[in-house]
């Protein structure tokens, strides 16, 4: 595709992340560092998973269940990594609080904690978008574009950009939900992220069928909206609770 | 309905110094990647000028050679290059010993002129050719001349606006890095490894030129002229003193603590004279009786943590009897003590990382992304370790020297490891560039590069 179209697809997948970055994350250097390290960690996890599965792909059968197995294992390992990142974050939070005490500044506010979780989630989303969408765009610059048979109405790159956008949203905000759930001990929130991730992954299997992307992608966006709404409700609840408890923020 | 303004937590300012170094490094890498993908991406672009450079003088790689031949040739090339760099560095030590500092300063300005004027001019010509940009010779010459002269002044004079200086340093790094990516593939890799190893040797071995230079500078309490990127110092605008800006004050005299501090600084900052290795100098603030602080009525002591949470500011120690004498014998506040402990990163590191990422850009975007993240992660970890190390051992002067030495060695080892990692990730792709361009670069330009780094 042309350079203009390529930039368009890249912005489609990463545009909202870019605006979120400029609005929230770029003002606090620590969040930028969190974003960079989170991107690195999730990218390494994706590379590791693809290295493990490289031996089995391409699948010889046309059935859908090997793909389901692939998605299941990948989602499971990524969710394990998310829990491990939560542990790391707890330790870092202790360090930060100790440091704040030492320089007699207030401890981490709840908005700070949620912003750190947001930066971590955005790292996850950016890693996913780059790995699954942007890496397809750069070798494909040129005069023509590419269509897939099973989704023949829109170019392949546009489909992948749209799916990447949905996943970026899901990953960004489910990290906030997950961290909040772990810190409060709320079971719904703790299980929300893995369930939604798995559901979204399985929903992409619908694209394997002919004309499946017409059904699959709107459903995927439904999951993204669900994540957004749940995160919004959660944040609202926690902030109002916090305010009621007497803290101003 | 806010009764009070939002309390400022540590999250607002933590990690600011790291970002102030990571941003220009990222910009440099991004520009090199863009240049490489624009100018080298089209296989039919440009001309095949057969050129011998200093780095390919021993062996000119062609794609028909066997792997073993290429490796041998690349080793030969890098040997020659390292030999030339060693000779030039020893020359530099000799000149510094003979107190020809002015000559060194002028030579630095001259090399900046060469890099900006000639290398920048050639790249600009290539771009104009590529995009068929309509501009005539005279306009181009005037613009290029103006650009070059302002760049030389920015590098030369320390009174230039800091943003202009930083921008020009990034541009110089970008230009030199781009030229390095034009070398044949194997030569580039072996050269990077060789430079990293040479850097280690030159700093560690007792007869190493860089070590001699540092010791000379230490014993004379002078600064060494070099091209070093200095980040803008972090200004504390919160806290009890509220809005006090540290003035740029030069260090005066000193006793043992500050000498060690200076040695750590110069040693760490100085090895930036050669290409690779992360050389960071961070100010140490031990016993603060800062004259400037006292004048402005600040509370000395633990305040330094408040001002730069992650990395301590330098608290300049002054003899109470003397005033601060700004020493202007430096092209760019060089190594040694800068104003308020801003982090300095040698230009050689910019070039090293950008060459790595530029080479990655010739293959694949994912390699670029992975390499970029690895470099930034390593850089951030190195900076944090440096800060932590400083804080952990504030009172022991010897261990600070050793610590900074260890840290520098770690940084250099990190460079070597990074090279190996990148090379592994590249060789697993086996995507060969269809054209190998060798460009004719004058020998003087390579000497200029040696000085630049």
ipTM of this complex prediction, to 2 decimal places: 0.86
Contacts of A134 in chain B (CB under 8 A): 365, 369
State whether residue A51 sits within 8 Å of chain B by CB.
no
Q: What backbone phi and psi angles, to 5 degrees, belong to A148?
A: -105, 145
Torsion over CA: B36, B38, B41, B44 (sign):
negative
The pLDDT-based confidence of B235 (bands split at 50, 70, 90) is low
Residue B242: name the closest of B297, B284, B288, B295 by CA.
B297
Looking at per-residue pLDDT, the higher value among A157 and B370 belongs to: A157
- CA distances (Å), A181 to each of A83, A178, A201, A220, B152, in order? 11, 5, 22, 23, 57
CA distance, residue B307 to nearest chain A CA (Å): 10
pLDDT tops 70 at residue B426: no
CA distance, residue B4 to nearest chain A CA (Å): 8
pLDDT tops 50 at residue B342: yes
Q: Which residue in chain A is spatially nearest to B16 when comparing CA positions?
A: A29
The pLDDT-based confidence of B361 (bands split at 50, 70, 90) is confident
Looking at per-residue pLDDT, the higher value among B443 and A194 belongs to: A194
Question: What average pLDDT does this structure show over B67-88?
Answer: 85
Contacts of B16 in chain A (CB under 8 A): 29
Cβ–Cβ under 8 Å, residues A172 and A21: no
Is B306 in Cβ contact with A108 (below 8 Å)? no
Measured between alpha carbons, how far is A95 from A103 in angstroms, rounded to an integer? 12
- pLDDT score of B444: 37
- pLDDT score of B339: 39
Q: Is B134 helix (H, G, I), strand (E, B) or coil?
A: coil
Kindly report the average pLDDT of chain B as a whole number: 65
pLDDT tops 80 at residue B72: yes
Q: How many CA atoms lie within 13 A of B239 on its CB side?
A: 23
- What pTM value is reported for the model? 0.74
Q: Which two tokens stand for residue B324?
A: 């601060």
Torsion over CA: B33, B34, B38, B42 (sign):
positive
Cβ–Cβ under 8 Å, residues B49 and B438: yes
State whether residue A233 sits within 8 Å of chain B by CB.
no
Q: Which range, of A20-29, B39-48, B363-372, averages the lowest pLDDT? A: B39-48
- pLDDT score of B275: 36
Compute CA A54 distance to the chain's CA centroid, rounded to the nearest angstrom.
Answer: 23
B357-380: b or e for each residue (b if 16 or more CB lie within 10 Å)? Answer: bbbbbbbbbbbbbbbbbbbbbbbb
Looking at per-residue pLDDT, the higher value among B102 and B252 belongs to: B102
Sheet holding B280-281, edge to edge: B228-230, B344-346, B280-281
pLDDT tops 50 at residue B118: yes
pLDDT tops 70 at residue B406: no
Contacts of B232 in chain A (CB under 8 A): none
Cβ–Cβ under 8 Å, residues A239 and A181: no
Torsion over CA: B15, A47, B367, A127 (sign):
negative
Measured between alpha carbons, how far is B299 from B174 in angstroms, rounded to an integer? 42
- pLDDT score of B301: 38
Helix, strand, coil % in chain B, rounded to nearest 5? 60, 0, 35
Query: Block means of pLDDT (10 residues each) for chain A, length 249 residues?
Result: 90 95 92 92 90 82 83 93 94 87 84 93 95 87 86 90 95 95 90 94 88 89 95 94 76
Share of chain B above pLDDT 70, in %: 53
DSSP state of B271: G
Q: Which residue in chain B is spatially nearest to A108 when comparing CA positions?
A: B9
State whether residue B306 sits within 8 Å of chain A by CB.
yes
- pLDDT score of A161: 95
pLDDT tops 50 at residue B330: no
The pLDDT-based confidence of B443 (bands split at 50, 70, 90) is very low
- pLDDT score of A207: 86
Q: What backbone phi and psi angles, to 5 degrees, belong to B230?
A: -115, 125
Q: Quick one: which H or E segment has residue B145?
A: helix B137-156
Cβ–Cβ under 8 Å, residues B386 and B282: yes
pLDDT tops 90 at residue B80: no
- pLDDT score of B265: 38
DSSP state of A61: S
State whether residue A243 sits within 8 Å of chain B by CB.
no
Q: Which two tokens stand for residue B78?
A: 């890098």
State whether residue B369 sits within 8 Å of chain A by CB.
yes
- pLDDT score of B155: 84
């Amino acid at each position: 595709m042309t350079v203009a179209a390529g930039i368009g697809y890249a912005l489609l997948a990463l545009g909202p992340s870019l605006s979120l970055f400029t609005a929230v994350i770029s003002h606090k250097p620590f969040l930028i560092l969190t974003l960079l390290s989170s991107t690195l960690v999730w990218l390494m996890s994706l590379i590791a998973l693809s290295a493990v599965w490289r031996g089995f792909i391409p699948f010889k059968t046309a059935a859908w269940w090997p793909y389901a197995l692939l998605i299941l294992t990948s989602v499971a390992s990524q969710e394990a990594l998310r829990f491990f990142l939560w542990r790391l974050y707890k330790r870092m939070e202790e360090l930060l609080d100790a440091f704040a005490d030492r320089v007699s500044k207030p401890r981490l506010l709840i908005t700070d904690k949620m912003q750190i979780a947001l930066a971590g989630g955005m790292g996850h989303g950016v890693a996913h978008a780059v790995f699954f969408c942007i890496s397809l765009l750069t070798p494909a610059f040129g005069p023509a574009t590419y269509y897939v048979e099973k989704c023949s109405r829109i170019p392949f790159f546009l489909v992948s950009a749209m799916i990447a956008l949905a996943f970026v949203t899901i990953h960004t905000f489910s990290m906030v939900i997950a961290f909040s759930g772990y810190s409060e001990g709320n079971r719904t929130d703790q299980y929300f992220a893995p369930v939604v991730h798995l559901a979204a992954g399985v929903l992409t299997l619908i694209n394997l069928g002919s004309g499946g992307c017409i059904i699959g992608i709107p459903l995927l966006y439904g999951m993204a909206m669900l994540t957004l709404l749940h995160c919004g409700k959660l944040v609202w609840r926690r902030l109002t609770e916090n305010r009621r408890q007497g803290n101003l923020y | 309905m806010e009764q009070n303004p939002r309390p400022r937590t540590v999250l607002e300012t933590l990690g600011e110094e790291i970002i102030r170094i990571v941003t220009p490094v990222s910009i440099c890498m991004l520009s090199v990647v863009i240049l490489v993908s624009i100018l080298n991406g089209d296989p039919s672009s440009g001309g095949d000028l057969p050129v011998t450079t200093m780095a390919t003088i021993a062996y000119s790689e062609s794609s028909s050679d066997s792997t073993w031949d290429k490796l041998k040739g690349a080793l030969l090339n890098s040997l020659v290059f390292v030999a030339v760099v060693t000779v030039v560095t020893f020359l530099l030590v000799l000149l510094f010993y003979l107190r020809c500092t002015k000559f060194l300063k002028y030579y630095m300005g001259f090399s900046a002129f060469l890099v900006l004027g000639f290398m920048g001019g050639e790249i600009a010509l290539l771009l104009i050719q590529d995009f068929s940009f309509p501009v005539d010779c005279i306009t181009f010459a005037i613009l290029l001349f103006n650009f070059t002269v302002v760049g030389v002044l920015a590098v030369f004079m320390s009174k230039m606006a800091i943003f202009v200086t930083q921008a020009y340093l990034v541009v110089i790094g970008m230009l030199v890095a781009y030229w390095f990516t034009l070398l044949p593939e194997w030569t580039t890799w072996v050269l990077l490894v060789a430079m990293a190893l040479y850097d280690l040797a030159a700093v560690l071995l007792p007869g190493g030129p860089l070590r001699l230079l540092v010791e000379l500078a230490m014993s004379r309490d002078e600064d060494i002229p070099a091209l070093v990127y200095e980040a803008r110092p972090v200004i504390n605008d919160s806290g009890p003193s509220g809005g006090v800006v540290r003035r740029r004050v030069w260090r005066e005299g000193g006793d043992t603590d500050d000498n060690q501090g200076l040695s750590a600084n110069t040693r760490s900052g100085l090895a930036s004279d050669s290409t690779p290795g992360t050389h960071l100098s961070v100010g140490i603030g031990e016993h603060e009786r800062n004259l400037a602080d006292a004048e402005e009525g600040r509370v000395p002591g633990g305040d330094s943590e408040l001002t730069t949470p992650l990395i301590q500011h330098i608290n300049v120690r002054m003899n109470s009897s003397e005033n601060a004498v700004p020493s202007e014998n430096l092209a760019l506040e060089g190594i040694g003590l800068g104003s308020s402990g801003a982090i300095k990163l040698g230009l050689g590191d910019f070039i090293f990382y950008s060459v790595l990422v530029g080479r990655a850009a010739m293959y694949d975007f994912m390699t670029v992304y992975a390499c970029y993240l690895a470099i930034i992660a390593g850089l951030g970890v190195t900076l944090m370790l440096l800060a932590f190390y400083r804080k952990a051992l504030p009172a022991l002067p010897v261990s600070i020297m050793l610590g900074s030495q260890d840290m520098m060695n770690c940084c250099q080892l990190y460079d070597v490891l990074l090279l190996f990692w990148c090379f592994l990730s590249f060789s697993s792709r086996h995507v060969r560039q269809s054209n190998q361009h060798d460009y004719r670069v004058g020998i003087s330009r390579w000497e200029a590069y040696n000085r630049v780094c």
